[in-house]
Chains A and B, each alone.
Chain A
Amino acid sequence: MAVRRRDVLKLAAGMLAAPAIARADETRVLRFVPQANLSSLDAVAGTQYVVRNAAAMVWETLYGVDSTFTPQPQMCEGHESSADLKTWTFRLRPGLKFHDGEAVTTRDVLASLQRWMVRDTMGQVIRGRLDALEAIDDRSFRFRLNKPFAKMLFALGKSNAPMALIMPERIARTDPFQLIKEYVGSGPMQFRTDEWVPGSRAVFELFAGYQPRAEKSDWLAGGKHMMFDRIEWQILPDAATAGGALQNGEVDWWELPIPDLVPLLKRNKDVVVDIADPLGNIGSLRMNHLHPPFNDPRVRRALLMAVSQPDYMEAVCGGDDTLWKPTASFFTPGTPLYTEDGGELLKGPRNYDAAKKLLAEAGYNGEKVVLMVATDIAITKAEGDVTADMLGKIGMNVDYQALDWGTVGARRSKKDPPDKGGWNIFHTWHAGADCINPAPYTALDAGGAKAWFGWPSSQAVEDAIGTWYDAADAAAEKAAAATINRAAFEDVVYVPTGFFQQYQAWRRNVSGVVKAPFPVFWGVRKT
């Protein structure tokens, strides 16, 4: 067969002009760059924030906290509680549907709550007090407890992972320690498994069967009105690439720009930069309480004397002083339980001589201190470098181990001595939303072997947390928080390295972006 030049040209022209996939109205598609790769979608089995953020579009909770941390009805019409707070009865609002068209019933709710209660700290408290969790009919169910539980609505509506997400019964029956394999929820967006390219792209499509509440949207509360047919998450691990894509209009919203690029983004007239989460984060220097030298509270207190929060925060925030402030508290600044009771050692000029003296009193004699530093994460790298310098100043023998977060994440769970694969110190940070009260605050738990990594043991802290759980009003909660803070500094559960916030950035044609501990997609528009 003869191939004519004209035919080749026609073919080439056709290919060049071939229409791209039929594109939806650009204003109905939001391109979002999340803080990290979305590698799974189970916000009950896992506690990664990025997973929680995606799951909050796909699944819903019975209640949802608003920006004042008050739980408001979401999937529920409302509730009744007995005067002794031992019986809690809930009724689902009518018309709730899953993405597969099935109605949401109490069978789904009970199975979901049973799974959640295994994994969540507050869920475990409820489970420990539970006589029965029972369905009354398809829309009503009841908790019967053997001890009052005042924080029930907050537990069901909190944004902290693991969230009490409601899934179809067949999915909720999954072992709580295994990831779910089907992503069917009842939230405003449905997950497009067929378009999911892990590490590159995740697509959420408007769920036509979703009926938003009538109230105004406020974080997880109120009507979740979606202004997009599609929300495309584009995973851009390279910050420079993400910055370029935002400036070039290839993406609409970048959840977590690095501080180094913020001045550049602020100069671009098409880009808006603002604080992402008003609750910010609390930096953390975490010590292993099981092994010398940090099994001695005097050594831990010596670190409190030497830690200079401004040094840490300047390293973390890249010189942007508006992003941070020192905090002599374990609780999030600006929230109701914030207190500086007992935090005196963190304030004022740093006293290296006193710290050295305390170390000597404790019998520290130059033993190696294994400092695990996740160098692939800018925040932990900055904190680790400051700590290495500070430990050197007070005469400690630092073994600085540069690792990736994957290694730190696994090795920190080892209880072995540092010279046998264990560790002495690692750094992380806690989302301010997790530090507003003791319930979601796993890092503050001081229950010894069952506590978070480092395994601090302090009966005073544990007793005060128990008091907070049983507190009947705001004043009692605040008093309990002051006791917790004092006891946590006395035993040095961990060392807060300061309070810092981060920016988010979006194109100027996007509106309705709110400040929250997670990206709130409902109410956001694009013109």
Chain B
Amino acid sequence: MWRYAGRRALATVPVMGFVALFVFSLLYLAPGDPAAIIAGDQASAEDIARIHASLGLDRPFLVRFGEWLWHVLQGDLGTSIFANLSVAHMIGQRIEPTLSLMVLTLVFSVVVAVPLGVLAAARAGSWVDRLVMLFAVLGFSVPVFVMGYVLAFVFALQLDWLPVQGYTPISHGVWPWLRNLILPVVALGAIYIALIARVTRAAMLEVLGQDYVRTARAKGLGLAPILFVHALKNAAVPIVTVIGLGVALLIGGAVVTESVFAIPGVGRLVVDAILRRDYPVIQGVTLLFSFVYVLVNLIVDLLYSVLDPRIRQ
């Protein structure tokens, strides 16, 4: 098991290296210039050129890439061109809201979607099944930002139950923290619930047709133990796969959700950085997101081998 885990972990190194090169090249080729934004609207072309040079952006690609990579290898993601704060510090300021949003969404989605999918499979063809699938179609179809605006309008502006925007750190109390996250989690979770519920239903339908399930029924086992002890465990591999794949969806969705609900997370940090062409921040955050994605895939790979030991061979 450990050798397998080590092999998989090593395989992520070239992936991260490729991501680093790709991101840096993309930004090098992309139009725009942070010097123009620093200089502002009143500045002349000469002013912009002077600022561009003072930022070292006129140096050759390889020199800049080599310097950045060398610093990254030493754990230094660089310094924001605008705020003069280290990228690591800026990510540190923003990581809690994003982690809170993603983890809560993940937990909420799995807790809601898996039982829904199991229920739909167990009652396949009934109105319960149709209702779950209708919800799934809605969850897929409604964009996150539309869902966000509707929720904020109803629960914040009309009913005044929850705030429209913002984030309160968990150190200020669980309820204030949760209060700010309920609407974003529901908005972001809708598409994720739809995805997991559909895959769970499909996987369960396949498993419920197997001989060992018929045997379990024949020997008089109740519906709940059949569904959740025998069938669900055997349907787990595709479900875990989709949860892992969904992390990418979650990262993309978090960027939108953080913007709609003004959550000061890493997603908004990268959007602001892109608009301003704050290269070190874009590179640092993209590298972080890539690392998280690769890590989640690694965890999913390792979970496969736990759920189905045959995969290790």
CB distance from B277 to the nearest CB of A (A): 5
Are B163 and A250 within 8 A (Cβ)? yes
Q: Is the interface of B mostly helix, strand, loop or mixed?
A: helix
Tell me, yes or no, whether B164 is within 8 Å of chain A by CB. yes
Q: Which residues of A contact B43 (CB under 8 A)?
A: 46-47
CB distance from A407 to the nearest CB of B (A): 4
- Report the Cα distance A376→B94, complex, angstroms: 25
Tell me, yes or no, whether A179 is within 8 Å of chain B by CB. yes
The contact of B41 among A47, A199, A235, A250, by CB within 8 Å, is A47
CB distance from B94 to the nearest CB of A (A): 7
CB distance from B282 to the nearest CB of A (A): 11
- Report the Cα distance A161→B152, complex, angstroms: 38
CB distance from A376 to the nearest CB of B (A): 8
A36-93 contacts to B, CB under 8 A, are 37, 39-40, 45-49, 51
Are B264 and A197 within 8 A (Cβ)? yes
**Chain B, 155-195, contact with A by CB distance < 8 Å: what is the 0/1 string?**
01100100111101000111110000000000000000000
Are A48 and B157 within 8 A (Cβ)? no
- Report the Cα distance A236→B85, complex, angstroms: 21
The segment from A10-18, A141-149, A331-339, A344-352 that touches chain B is A10-18
Tell me, yes or no, whether B25 is within 8 Å of chain A by CB. no
The segment from B5-13, B31-39, B62-70, B301-309 that touches chain A is B31-39
The contact of A241 among B33, B51, B261, B272, by CB within 8 Å, is B261
Tell me, yes or no, whether B233 is within 8 Å of chain A by CB. no
Are A410 and B83 within 8 A (Cβ)? no
CB distance from B262 to the nearest CB of A (A): 5
Are A406 and B38 within 8 A (Cβ)? no
Tell me, yes or no, whether B141 is within 8 Å of chain A by CB. no
Tell me, yes or no, whether B47 is within 8 Å of chain A by CB. yes
Of all chain A residues, the one with the shortest Cβ separation from B272 is: A199
Tell me, yes or no, whether A198 is within 8 Å of chain B by CB. yes
Are B164 and A245 within 8 A (Cβ)? yes
Of all chain B residues, the one with the shortest Cβ separation from A40 is: B82
Are A241 and B264 within 8 A (Cβ)? no
- Report the Cα distance A241→B163, complex, angstroms: 11
Are B51 and A45 within 8 A (Cβ)? yes
- Report the Cα distance A199→B285, complex, angstroms: 14
- Report the Cα distance A12→B40, complex, angstroms: 50
B248-278 contacts to A, CB under 8 A, are 259-262, 264, 268-269, 272-278
A209-247 contacts to B, CB under 8 A, are 234-238, 240-241, 244-245, 247
Are A245 and B165 within 8 A (Cβ)? yes
Are A236 and B45 within 8 A (Cβ)? no
Q: Give the interface size bracket for A toward B.
A: 35 or more
Are A18 and B172 within 8 A (Cβ)? yes
Q: Which residues of A contact B273 (CB under 8 A)?
A: 199
Q: Which residues of B contact A442 (CB under 8 A)?
A: 42, 44
- Report the Cα distance A179→B278, complex, angstroms: 14
Are B42 and A199 within 8 A (Cβ)? no
Are A241 and B164 within 8 A (Cβ)? yes
The contact of A250 among B93, B165, B269, by CB within 8 Å, is B165
Whether A161 contacts B156 in the complex (CB less than 8 A), given A197-B264, A198-B82, A241-B164, comes out as no
Are B38 and A409 within 8 A (Cβ)? no
| A-B complex: 9 closest residue pairs judged by Cβ atoms | A47-B40, A200-B264, A410-B33, A47-B42, A18-B173, A244-B164, A199-B272, A413-B45, A409-B36
Known: A45-B39, A238-B262, A411-B31. 20 other contacts (CB 8 A): A16-B173, A39-B83, A40-B38, A45-B51, A47-B42, A48-B40, A51-B40, A119-B47, A179-B38, A197-B93, A234-B262, A237-B268, A241-B152, A241-B165, A244-B153, A247-B164, A406-B277, A440-B42, A451-B44, A452-B44
- Give A contacts to B, CB under 8 Å: 12, 15-21, 37, 39-40, 45-49, 51, 119, 160-162, 175, 177-179, 181, 196-201, 234-238, 240-241, 244-245, 247-248, 250, 376, 403-407, 409-413, 415, 428, 434, 440, 442, 450-453
